[in-house]
Homo-oligomer: A and B are copies of this chain.
């Protein structure tokens, strides 16, 4: 049996062939009902414009809307439709998908289409647009089932069936009281297995978690994840239901949140995408680089203090980059681990201390291994390629190795403490930590390395290049 991905691509080829085939429209509609909307969305780009238009006509506006909701960038395909058709398609989408699709179009056309949306959809779209991109409200959908808490089981079931025609997020049914305020939620399963003699109250979960429309998505994505529900209601300040967040929204949120942290660790202020202009990307990267430049100058001025060492013993500069790089690498590792830990759980002081000690231990252990390697390899290298006698060669190598161990231990600690500090003062550690850690580690590495060289090589043993 083929893997998901293989069978998938074959499946898509069949689909493509089918659409370009000479089947009657009736037959085609029939056969297409066996294909997933996402699959049809994927092959759209492979079709000729007129093939696409024919396809939409055959599938009908409802299914076309479903398919468009799966497109990464619906813009070009919407362009092919008349304003009326486009508006009609958007009107048949979930509010959050409708907003996404509209975002894919240029302002003028977007405005034209919004004018032509049916009343309900345009209300929904305006509602979602009324929130900032980082607010929960901006990614909710108004596609959900809502009933009053005074119904009987039988009435509730009938109401569900009535609304299910319009709304397909039915696994959780939301309940409001007589003032239309959020009252609780019913797991569809409980409604289905309930007996007519049961009261609705008995199957309503009053504790069902909810979100507020203007909360920052990043602040609650972890909690949302924890509850692991199929959907969560989003309430207005008045406690009315504004919409819901579905599990696929949650997947998106988690993906985005992680993607941002990932970008930040890489030294971008936010995740970039392919379609961004050079200037937009510059804006995201330059701040960090300028900060690093000036911090780098600080390091340079410290290196400058050791010019004397270098003047006497130029060989030492060969290994500066190595010591600094290693210190930096170790710091980054500790940073990556610490940020993830801080993100996932709330650490008690004791655990934090434990983490710092653990990082220090790892730094020491790794530093020792690398330090020994360095001593051995560089000792030989310096003797043969730099022409120092064995004793001096290994003394110099020892300075490098020693500096390596010291720098790695301190870097591990710095790489753990600094993100914890920023987290404590509610500054995003993923953004703020990087530059600071690099700089501190560079300074530590420079001072230990040149310091050791000065004391041992020059003051103690009077070695000169």
A145-167 interface code vs B (CB 8 A; 1 in, 0 out): 00000000000000011001100
Looking at A251, A325, A366, which has the most chain B CB atoms within 10 Å of its CB? A325
Contact of A282 among B206, B225, B366 (CB under 8 A): B366
Considering only residues 289-311 of chain A, those with a C-beta below 8 Å from chain B are: 289-290, 292-294, 296-297, 299-301, 303-304, 307, 310-311
Interface of A is mostly: helix
- Which residues A196-250 have CB closer than 8 A to chain B? 205-212, 215, 219-220, 223, 225-228, 230, 235, 237, 239, 247-248, 250
> Which A174-191 residues have a C-beta within 8 angstroms of B?
187-189
Q: State whether A267 and B333 are in contact (beta carbons under 8 Å apart), knowing that A4-B211, A160-B192 are contacts in the complex.
A: yes
A34 at the interface (CB under 8 A from B): yes
Residue of B nearest to A284 (CB): B333
> At the interface, yes or no: A418 with Cβ under 8 Å from chain B?
no
Bound Cα distance from A443 to B228, whole angstroms: 49
Known: A259-B340, A296-B325, A300-B321. 17 other contacts (CB 8 A): A4-B211, A5-B219, A5-B223, A11-B207, A35-B207, A36-B227, A171-B188, A188-B188, A225-B255, A247-B250, A250-B251, A254-B258, A263-B340, A285-B366, A289-B329, A294-B377, A300-B319
| Residues in A lying within 8 Å of B, measured CB to CB | 1, 3-5, 8, 11, 34-36, 38-39, 70, 72, 160-161, 164-165, 168, 170-171, 187-189, 192-193, 205-212, 215, 219-220, 223, 225-228, 230, 235, 237, 239, 247-248, 250-251, 254-255, 258-259, 261-263, 265-268, 271-274, 278, 281-282, 285-286, 288-290, 292-294, 296-297, 299-301, 303-304, 307, 310-311, 314-315, 317-322, 324-326, 328-330, 332-333, 335-337, 340-341, 344-345, 351, 354-355, 358, 361-362, 365-366, 369-370, 373-374, 377-378, 381, 385-386, 438, 442, 446, 465
